[in-house]
Structure 1
Amino acid sequence: MKKVSIIYASRGGNVEVLANEIFEGAKEAGADVTIKMVSEATKEDVLSADAVAFGSPSKNNNNIDQEEMAPFLKEFKLTLNNNKPVVLFGSYGWDNGEFMEKFKDLITDYGFNVVGELAVNEAPDNEELAKAKEFGKLLGK
């Protein structure tokens, strides 16, 4: 059974909605899934997983959450991440989703393999929710 960890930061609830859809998709694929807010996550949650989903809202200057998510991810800078599959997801309001490219570059630089990404404007629509669920299934297979 594949082990999947979903770790996210959410302020307005939109990222949490996406995280829950990814969770459902991974469960449907038969994976053992852990879902946590980044404030509750540990490095081991990522290291022990076969695949990971990281989620963050776009914050100050088109960046991921700098208060909790960025410091958490920095823990993996010098870790052997062995091209572990990762899905990135998040929401934005005014910046056109440009933060996702920075997010992808950061995670790739840390040795992860980004297999999917989803940036939604404000609240996700039905199509975006379905895509999140599909990403969960992808991680769980």
Structure 2
Amino acid sequence: MKKVSIIYWSNGGNVEVLADAIAASAKENGAQVMIKHVTDATVDDVINADSVAFGSPSMDSNRIEQQEMEPYINQFKLLPNNGKKLILFGSYGWDEGQFIIDWSDRMKDYGFNVVDILAVKESPSEEQLRKARELGKELAR
């Protein structure tokens, strides 16, 4: 059974909706899922997982949330992430989602295998929720 960790930061609820859809699908596809708000997450939650998903809205000029998510993500810069499967997801309101591409490039530099990304403008549509469920299925593989 694959161990999947889903760690996110959400304020308006859109990122949390995506996280819940990803988690539900990963569970339905046989994975052992741990889902946490970043304030409750530890580095071990990622180290001990087979695959991981990180989620954040775009804030402050095309960047992930800076007070809690950014410091958490920075911890992985110097760790051996060994190509661990990673999916990134998030929401944006005004910047056309460039933050997720920048974040993906950064996580590849940190040694993760970024297999997919999902950025939604404001709240997710039914089609985007279907995509989130596909991401959960991918994490469980």
Under TM normalisation by the shorter chain, which class is it? over 0.9
Query: In 2, distance between residues paired with 1:31 and 1:68?
Result: 27
> Which residue is equivalent to 1:15?
15
Is 1:92 equivalent to 2:92 in the alignment?
Answer: yes
Q: How far apart are residue 106 of structure 1 and its match? A: 1.3
Instruction: Return the letter of the residue paired with 1:137.
Output: K
Q: Could you say which residue in structure 1 is the equivalent of 2:77?
A: 77
Q: CA deviation at 1:84?
A: 0.3
**Structure 2 alignment gaps of length 5 or more:** none
Q: Counterpart of 2:64 in 1: which secondary structure?
A: coil
Question: Percent identity, aligned pairs only?
Answer: 59
Cα deviation for residue 11 of structure 1 reads 1.1
Aligned counterpart, 2:24: 24
Secondary structure (helix, strand or coil) at the match of 2:72 reads helix
Deviations 1:81-112 (A, max 9, x none): 01000000000001111111111011111100
TM-score (norm 1): 0.99
Equivalent-residue separation in structure 2 for 1:80 and 1:23 (angstroms)? 25
Equivalent in the alignment of 2:64: 64
Deviation at 1:6, TM superposition (A): 0.1
Q: Deviation above 2 Å: which 4+ runs of structure 1?
A: none
Q: Figure out how many residues of one structure are paired with residues of the other and give that number.
A: 141
Give the partner amino acid of 2:121: N
1:118 aligns with 2:135: no
- Tell me how far apart the structure 2 counterparts of residues 103 and 64 of structure 1 sit (CA, whole Å): 8
1:37 counterpart = 2:41:
no
Which residue matches 1:127?
127
Q: In the alignment, residue 124 of structure 1 is paired with which amino acid?
A: P
Give the TM-score normalised by the residue count of structure 2: 0.99
Deviations 1:35-91 (A, max 9, x none): 000000000000000000000000001001111111001111110001000000000
